[in-house]
Structure 1
Amino acid sequence: MPELRLRRTILSVDDHELVRVGLRQVIGQHFGERFHVAEAHSLEQALRFLEERTDEVFLMLLDLNLGDTRGLAGLRLLSQRHPRLPIAVVSGSNDARVRDEARAHGAVGYFCKTGDTGDLKGLLDTIERAATGADAATDEAPATHGDALARSRRLRPGIRLSDRQVQVLELILGGLDNQAIAAETGLALGSVKNCVSTVFLAFNVRSRAELIGLFV
């Protein structure tokens, strides 16, 4: 119980001050003095804050496009370094594909800054659930990519992938895009694309989000 009382901080990460101020005001209006809202304007600043005060934070509100990161890279890095911290994305994009991929990478919610009252209600509900521990990570050890591959074979018996395709699958599950996979493996970008297409075909999916969703 003492640990729950300490975790009353929401970390709002956005490079636009007006957005941070707006979120702080909305949270204050709905929750009063229950929570403290800390702020960071960059991924680097958020990481420094968590290094020093991670035990206080029960939820992060993260913009995907910051001055020092773009797209899902920031979400992936934060999830890797702080796997037990729930992260809700608050983004200017209402792209369904981005929303699905963010959720596939562990986001507990995705809310559009320019959305309707449904986005606002969803955000407030997510804050309440995170505060009560409903979205907290379990104590189970994270599955390895090898475990994920074994599960995939149970999902689709008889699946056949080469060693290289298995390696690409593992990197996709780790959140890497094609360019990063090419750098990691030393393959040409065209070869990476061919491997990714083969993996998609093997699992009968059309996107990274669908593929990752098989292993969640």
Structure 2
Amino acid sequence: MDDHELVRMGLRQVIVQHFADRFHVADAHSLEQALLFLKQRAEEVFLLLLDLNLGDTRGLTGLKLLRQLYPQLPIVVVSGTHDPRVREEALAHGAWGYFCKTGDTDGLKGMLAAIESASTANHRPGKHGAAARSQNLRPGVRLTDRQIQVLELLLSGLDNQAIAAETGLVLGSVKNCVSTIFLVFNVRSRAELIGLFS
């Protein structure tokens, strides 16, 4: 989802070339258009690419709304900004990944890897630790890699400050991530969360 037609066309072409006929690619130029599409066909969508600055939304507002309406839908942010704070906030609010649309090879490879990961998310072998237990406990719940990392650290007994030091996240991002995890597992405390996994 991007409001620049050339960017949308370019991303679409790269994705179609890379994944051939494995799945259908649709695009939208606004959040409103994407929401109309999802309202009718959300069950067909396994991943959404989101630009943070669309004509009808700015910053993390669109991401937050999509996460609220479609909490199981993996969302990858494709943005024009390199600001690491924006990236960390996007990840803390549930984005599967964050890539800059500057055309560099690493960003493009990362985006394609995220699409591949999302397309096979329900069939990945060798899950372990909190990731495996969370998937077994709540089928259909998808945690981002960052959320799984924070979940592992929560289950190890670390407080928010220690998690921030361990992950390199700012404290506010850790708090947001912990809140999201509590919401996903419908718990109100660390003790309650740990109890689910004991």
| Cross-structure match for 1:78 | 66
Alignment check: 8 A CA contact 1:86 1:135 kept: no
Name the CA distance, whole Å, in 2 between partners of 1:115 and 1:122.
11
Structure with higher Rg: it is 1
Runs of 4 or more consecutive aligned structure 1 residues displaced over 6 Å after TM superposition: none
Cα deviation for residue 134 of structure 1 reads 5.2
Amino acid of the residue matched to residue 80 of structure 2? Answer: G
The alignment yields a C-alpha RMSD, in angstroms, of 2.9
Q: Is the 8 A contact 1:93 1:112 kept in 2?
A: yes
Gap regions ≥5 residues in structure 2? 125-133, 142-153, 160-168, 182-198
Offset of 1:108 from its aligned partner?
Answer: 0.4
Amino acid at match of 1:42: S
Displacement, 1:213? 3.5
Residues 95 and 115 of structure 1: CA distance in aligned 2, closer, same or farther (over 3 Å): farther
- For 2:61 and 2:33, the matched residues in 1 are separated by 15
Q: Match for 2:77 among 84, 89, 101?
A: 89
Q: Which has the higher strand share?
A: 1
Listed one character per residue, the Cα deviations across residues 42-77 of structure 1 (whole Å, up to 9, x for unaligned) are 111111100000111000000001111100010000
The residue type paired with residue 59 of structure 1 is: L
Q: In 2 relative to 1, CA 135–39 (structure 1 residues): closer, same or farther, beyond 3 Å?
A: farther
CA distance in 1 between partners of 2:15 and 2:59 (Å): 25
Aligned partner of 1:19 in structure 2 is 7
In the alignment, the residues of structure 2 paired with residue 110 and residue 118 of structure 1 have an alpha-carbon distance, to the nearest angstrom, of: 12
Task: Give 5+ residue unaligned stretches, structure 1.
Answer: 1-12, 143-150, 157-204
Match of 1:99 in 2: 87
Aligned ranges for residues 1-216 of structure 1 at < 5 Å?
A: 13-133=1-121, 138=135, 140=138, 155-156=158-159, 207-215=171-179, 216=181
Identity %: 61
Q: Rate the CA distance shift 1:48–1:97 in 2: closer, same or farther, 3 A.
A: same
1:113-163: CA deviation from partner (whole Å, max 9, x where unpaired): 015211111111111111112599946398xxxxxxxx7xx755xxxxxxx
Task: Tell whether the 8 Å contact from 1:24 to 1:37 is kept in structure 2 after alignment.
Answer: yes
CA separation in 1, counterparts of 2:171 and 2:4? 31
Give the Å deviation of 1:34: 1.3
Work out the CA distance in 1 between the residues paired with 2:27 and 2:76.
14
CA distance in 1, matches of 2:123, 2:26: 20
Output the TM-score relative to the length of structure 1.
Answer: 0.62
TM-score, normalization: structure 2?
A: 0.67
Question: Number of residue pairs matched?
Answer: 149
